[in-house]
Amino acid sequence: MWRPYVITNIYGNKRVMRDTKLYKTKDEAIRAMKVKNKRWMELNYDKQYNKASNFEYGAIEVGKDGYKYKKGISGNKKLLSDINKMQKSSSNFFGIKF
């Protein structure tokens, strides 16, 4: 099962939020998160703020209990830390950053 998340990077302040629902595939999870976030943003914010947020979407594979990371802000911080580490390592190939 997959749990989707969305990262916002507004004004240099990166934050992540996870969805409450689990999905069978990674693609399904990401697609659902995009739809939910779009509806949330249309209801609560203007287009300028929405564009400035620089959203990134993804999903993490979770175990049988549905949580790879703790519930709450500490789990979100750990998830964001792990995502940042993965992004740094994937953009560095033989010491060359892409």
Domains of the chain by residue range: 1-64
The mean pLDDT value for 5-34 works out to 93
Q: Is the pLDDT score of 95 beyond 80?
A: no
Look up tokens 């979100």; give the residue. Answer: 76
% helix, strand, coil for the chain, step of 5: 45, 25, 30
> For residues 40 and 80, what is the distance between their CA atoms, to the nearest angstrom?
21
Q: Is the pLDDT score of 48 beyond 60?
A: yes
The mean pLDDT value for 24-44 works out to 94
Strands 56-61 and 2-10: antiparallel
